[in-house]
Amino acid sequence: EAGVAQSPRYKIIEKRQSVAFWCNPISGHATLYWYQQILGQGPKLLIQFQNNGVVDDSQLPKDRFSAERLKGVDSTLKIQPAKLEDSAVYLCASSLDRAGEVYGYTFGSGTRLTVV
């Protein structure tokens, strides 16, 4: 079974620039998550999709972050404009069940973003 694919692996941008990350979940997984992991901290949920609908985006800074999951498969997370504090690893995960409580989550390798 192919895992969760993410790209790019690394990205360095200047503050106020825009950036986009892509995620392809495991085939058949209806639920997709974006997590932000700042260095030295645990991952924090940014947004959760069930198919192509948003389930939870309460911790997404909506003034600068946006995400979409067209057709309920791939997803894109965008930051515009980026700030220094957005430097982090952005992890995508997917799960077979509604919230991952039974089958768990499968994580991608993440995109490491550095804002300078």
Partner 1 sequence: AQKVTQAQTEISVVEKEDVTLDCVYETRDTTYYLFWYKQPPSGELVFLIRRNSFDEQNEISGRYSWNFQKSTSSFNFTITASQVVDSAVYFCALFTGGGNKLTFGTGTQLKVEL
Select 17 or 109, whichever has its Cβ closest to partner 1.
Answer: 109
The CA distance from 71 to 75, in Å, is 9
* The one among 75, 77, 108, 115 contacting partner 1 by CB under 8 A: 108
Q: Does 50 bind partner 1 (CB under 8 A)?
A: no
CA atoms within 13 A on the CB side of 22: 6
How many CB atoms neighbour CB 63 within 10 A? 8
> What is the DSSP secondary structure assignment for residue 105, as one 8-state letter?
-
Select 86 or 105, whichever has its Cβ closest to partner 1.
Answer: 105
Select 31 or 79, whichever has its Cβ closest to partner 1.
Answer: 31
Q: Does 30 bind partner 1 (CB under 8 A)?
A: no
